Amino acid sequence: MRYTAEPAFVLHTRPWRETSLLVEVLSQNHGRIGLVARGVQGAKKQLLRAALQPLQWIRFEAVQMGELARLTAAEALDAAPRLSGDGMLAGFYLNELTLRLAPRNDPLPDLFAAYEQARARLGGDVSPGWTLRRFERDLLDALGFGFDWHHDGDGAAIDPAARYRLDPEHGPRRLLSDRGRADRSGAATGQALLALADDRLPSADDLAGLRRAMRGVLAHHLGPRGLKSWELLTELARVAPRTKPTREHGIEG
């Protein structure tokens, strides 16, 4: 198969052999694709290497050869967002989550659109945590794992005053008022779920609750191997407990 003028976002790049790169991209028409970029070291290939950096929007040419495709050309279509601090961590998480859950060579136009929107928001003034919760919602929808955020798993309307745990298979489950603290710690308020459903920015506390609740769903789909970004964020919170910027912005997993 030949890919011609295919738009894509770069998710991950790593060295391969002495002069080549292995690149994972999320393409507009063919889903996640693994590429081999041969002989990209050296001054003459500087523009190509720059185009293959994570978060970069590119247009590429390649030929599918087994599991991986051989890259023949690529060009950057814009300037990737210049991120730092929480934004940089959010970008790392965005790419890793997409890389882990998006299947290879399966067209997912809704996921491509959600990624494009999340990338643009990371380069703007939107809270990184809110950007990630919206992307998680849209990613689950695109993969067929999403919920009806206005109703619980039994079909009852979400109560803004209640608390809910997100069951990965059945959706929101209302918690009884006498549930223990351990059960409630991974729950979100109904108000938070409705805000996510209607794309309204929730309060800081509700945003933190959404983060905890969504992590349980994502962990279910990821399997026993979690995300490196979760480990990194946990370590950062441990070594810098006084500032905890990732907690304040709802990024930490």
Same domain, 65 and 164: no
* Res 240 pLDDT > 60: no
Residue 81 included in any domain: no
Same domain, 222 and 115: yes
Residue 209 included in any domain: yes
* Res 242 pLDDT > 50: no
pLDDT, tens digit, 9 for 90 and up, residues 146-202: 999 999 999 999 999 999 999 999 999 999 874 555 456 789 999 999 999 999 999
Q: Minimal CA–CA distance to 122: which of 44, 54, 184, 178?
A: 54
Q: What is the DSSP letter of 40?
A: -
Residue that the structure tokens 């290497």 belong to: 49
Alpha helices per DSSP H over the chain: 46-51, 86-101, 109-122, 128-142, 181-185, 190-197, 204-222, 228-239, 245-248
> Which of the listed residues 76, 98, 114 is the one where a domain comes to its end?
76
* Domain count for the chain: 2
Q: What is the CATH number of the domain that holds 60?
A: 2.40.50.140
Residue 97 included in any domain: yes
Residue 253 included in any domain: no
User: What's the CA gap between 211 and 130, in Å, rounded?
Assistant: 9
pLDDT, tens digit, 9 for 90 and up, residues 13-59: 999 988 899 999 999 999 999 999 998 877 678 888 889 999 999 99
What is the domain range of residue 223? 86-248
Same domain, 72 and 197: no
